[in-house]
Amino acid sequence: MASEYWTNFISEIRDCTGIEFGPGLTDAEVAAAELTYCFRFPPDLRQFLHTGLPCGRSFPDWRDGDEASLREWLDIPRRGILFDVTRNGFWLEEWGTRPATEAETEQRVAELVSAAPKLVPIFAHRMIPCEPHQAGNPVFSVHQTDIIHFGVDLRDYLIHEFFTKPDIGVWPLPDTIRPIRFWDVNRFQSVRWGTDGVVFFDNSSGVLP
């Protein structure tokens, strides 16, 4: 059921950007998507999608979208991490000893990402973790291991991404954001950038939708 809060918020997005919205997902459509793709929409994202389904190629279509394309979209985090692991030497100590062969490395990365909270696409490579199953999870911008916060929560993300009105404003992210298991933004960035602050990674994986 659509909420008045999200109805008004979607109207603001539409007025501000011209983005079109289709009818919101029904309970049955939400359940079908969750069953097909093996995750649960966080409560705030679910309520947003109940109210209206954003249209356009950079938005996932959980109603009529091509299943293979959506699965590929959901696989962006694994493929991006694997690219940096195999091409750029990325590896976190907490992952254990790096495997000796490429096949073993690929398997290990797949296991790590599979065990982590799944990242659900919202728009392009902006994603929200499905765990914990609570409103208020942060939104990430995900490009290979260049993973950063792009919103404290769904509402904050949508403002940063789409609102340009001077009276709405954009504010810096706070120091404290809900931590998400495995997806430690600071840890990924510290290894990715090294100690001298100069990025040394090839950013040409081409895994963005």
53 domain residue, yes or no: yes
Residue 19 CA to chain centroid, in angstroms?
Answer: 20
Q: C-alpha distances in angstroms, 125 versus 87, 121, 203? A: 21, 7, 14
What percentage of residues in the chain have a pLDDT greater than 70? 87
Is 80 exceeded by the pLDDT of residue 71? Answer: yes
Structural domain that includes position 108: 4-193
Domain count, the chain: 1
Residue 36 in tokens = 């097909």
Q: How far apart are CA 13 and CA 160, in angstroms?
A: 11
Q: For residue 176, what pLDDT is reported?
A: 83
186 domain residue, yes or no: yes
Confidence of residue 160 (pLDDT cuts 50, 70, 90): confident
Q: For residue 1, what pLDDT is reported?
A: 47
Listed range (34-43, 68-77, 118-127, 151-160) with the worst mean pLDDT: 151-160
Is 60 exceeded by the pLDDT of residue 2? Answer: no
What percentage of residues in the chain have a pLDDT greater than 90? 78
43's enclosing H/E stretch is: helix 43-51
118 domain residue, yes or no: yes
Which of 14-29 are b and which e, b meaning 16 or more Cβ less than 10 Å from the residue's Cβ? eeeeebebeebbeeeb
Listed range (22-26, 55-59, 193-197) with the worst mean pLDDT: 193-197
198 domain residue, yes or no: no
103 domain residue, yes or no: yes
105-128 confidence digits (pLDDT tens) = 999 999 999 999 999 999 999 999
Q: Are 149 and 127 in contact (CB under 8 A)?
A: no
Q: For residue 59, what pLDDT is reported?
A: 98
Q: Residues in the chain, how many?
A: 209
Q: How far apart are CA 53 and CA 50, in angstroms?
A: 7
4-44 confidence digits (pLDDT tens) = 889 999 999 999 899 999 999 999 999 999 999 999 999 99
202 domain residue, yes or no: no
CATH number for the domain that contains residue 187? 3.40.1580
204 domain residue, yes or no: no
91 domain residue, yes or no: yes
